[in-house]
A and B are shown apart, each in its own frame.
Chain A
Amino acid sequence: MIKAEQKPMDEILRYLSPYDRILLSGCGACVTVCHAGGEKEVELLASALKMAFRKSGKSLEVLEATPARQCEPEFASELSETIEKVEAVISIACGVGVQTLARHFPKTPVFPGVNTTFLGETVTHGVWEERCQACGNCILERTGGICPVARCAKQLFNGPCGGSSKGKCEIKREADCAWQLIYDRLKGLGQLYRMEEIIPARRWGVESRDSGPRRIVREDLKV
């Protein structure tokens, strides 16, 4: 799922300084799972913002909402009436959610309250790690289900660099070397021959964001 982290309080307060009535909108999907922008975080951040305003001798009215999925137009439009009543919106959904609100409500400023960080997996309670870069051409079939695009610091396609040592990456010593993981997994599966195949240069220009924002059109689903 998409992972995010709340922005520093000072930065959020800086966005809000001209206003005294805002909507704080969370999202019931990914950011709820990573405890960055769910209903609970909306409540906590609303109190913290009000308190910070009071401390500086001002007051802030915060309306709260947590649509089920802020990135879906039908859920975003549920906020129409509330948004009429406020001067600005802080969204603690991911960057997609922020943009959905911005597109729907052209007259209201929408500010991000979180930094969207990566597509990742829960490793253990309170720990998340990046697993996918949405590169547009999945090669997990060749790499034992472990992604070198997301998990190798140099995005190598043909095995570990010389800096792989005792299973760890030289760049972040606490991080596993993705290619060591791939090697171990393929060995366990009896598929080490896969490591001998050369993966040719990628077609970044066709598959990835490098040729501009990507779009999927499904004629069978259009109305």
Chain B
Amino acid sequence: MKAGSNLEKILSKDLFAVTGELGPPKGNDVSVIQRKADLLKGYVDAVNVTDNQTAIVRMSSIATSSLLIQMGLEPVMQMVTRDRNRIAIQSDLFGATALGIRNMLCLTGDHHTFGNQVDSKNVHDLDSIQLIDCVRTMRDKGTLLGGEEKIEGEIKLFIGAAENPFGDPFEFRAIRLAKKASAGVDFIQTQCIYDMTRFKEWMKMVRDRGLHEKVHILAGVTPLKSGGMARYMAKNVSGIIIPDQIIDRIVKAKKPAEEGIKLCVEQIQELREIEGVHGVHIMAIEWEQMTSQITEMAGLLPRPQIT
């Protein structure tokens, strides 16, 4: 075991993992975290805690992750390189691991101009691949990046990253995963999948490189709430592809939200059949209450208890 987290144990036993996602409050209201935690507890193996996603200022992912542990949920602490240089990153990892955090997700982060602090200066001292290498160095060598001095204590982290099979250039997307694997990533979660044909093509490239045996791949899904949401995402979010027939299905449905959940469940079942997919990452953004229903309908319950 590299970190001994619940997520690592489940994946290393070849069980199909389920992760969820929780966006911290835009302030210090802990009741928001408690409410979302209650909606997710028992339905997922670990919960991603976003790090100022879309560059909107929220409670830090470290503090939120620590609170989640107290609430009995296992966090996957996200960390972006947008806001921290390597001094802050490594210092925060000392703190995060001291607080009991055992999973992290290494990201570059959404560009700061998408958020509510557009006049800030971005950092990007490291990119996501260099961050993976940094964490692996701290964990496996027991030193800081580029240093020989031993860290006091042990950095036990199960290292994750994201991958987007829907970004361009498509042919590079498996190469990018290969780079993350050689930098030391243990698991990846993908961008939300709607274009199953393209995802399957990508998985074939991943398998051809043998990456599915080196890295645990969790397929990302996001239930669509309405036709408007589907159209908006398809048009405005770079790196998300929603095929027309899916948009039509949601738009034409009598109850679009119900149809969105049904579609999400079908996607999970289809993804589960793909060789090399080791789990699913459910991003029910501000719709956390649907996680229980989705996991129930997809036959993912009860979640395994591993001691």
Binding site for B on A (CB under 8 A): 153-168, 170-171, 177, 179-180, 183-184, 195-196, 198-202, 204
Q: Which of B124, B133, B162 contacts A200 (CB 8 A)?
A: B133
Residue tally, chain B, CB below 8 Å to A = 35
B134, closest chain A residue (CB): A201
A203, closest chain B residue (CB): B146
Q: By the criterion CB–CB under 8 Å, are A201 and B167 in contact?
A: no
Q: Which of B127, B178, B239 contacts A157 (CB 8 A)?
A: B127
- Expressed in whole angstroms, the minimum distance between the Cβ of B176 and any Cβ of chain A is 5
Q: By the criterion CB–CB under 8 Å, are A201 and B145 in contact?
A: yes
- Expressed in whole angstroms, the minimum distance between the Cβ of B151 and any Cβ of chain A is 17
Q: Which of A153, A154, A162, A195 contacts B167 (CB 8 A)?
A: A162
| Residue B28 CB within 8 A of the other chain | no
Q: By the criterion CB–CB under 8 Å, are B130 and A158 in contact?
A: yes
Distance between Cα atoms of A195 and B128 in the complex (Å):
15
- Per-position 1/0 for B84-119, Cβ under 8 A of A: 001000000000000000000000100101100000
A154-B111, A161-B167, A162-B166 given. 4 additional CB < 8 A pairs? A156-B108, A162-B238, A163-B239, A164-B238
B241, closest chain A residue (CB): A165
Distance between Cα atoms of A180 and B168 in the complex (Å):
7
Known contacts A154-B111, A165-B167, A198-B182; A170/B127 CB under 8 A = no
- Expressed in whole angstroms, the minimum distance between the Cβ of A161 and any Cβ of chain B is 6
Q: By the criterion CB–CB under 8 Å, are A165 and B238 in contact?
A: yes
B123, closest chain A residue (CB): A155
A167 cross-chain contacts in B, Cβ below 8 A? 168
Distance between Cα atoms of A161 and B183 in the complex (Å):
16
Q: By the criterion CB–CB under 8 Å, are B239 and A170 in contact?
A: yes
Q: By the criterion CB–CB under 8 Å, are A201 and B126 in contact?
A: yes
- Per-position 1/0 for B225-242, Cβ under 8 A of A: 000000000000011000
A170 cross-chain contacts in B, Cβ below 8 A? 111, 238-239
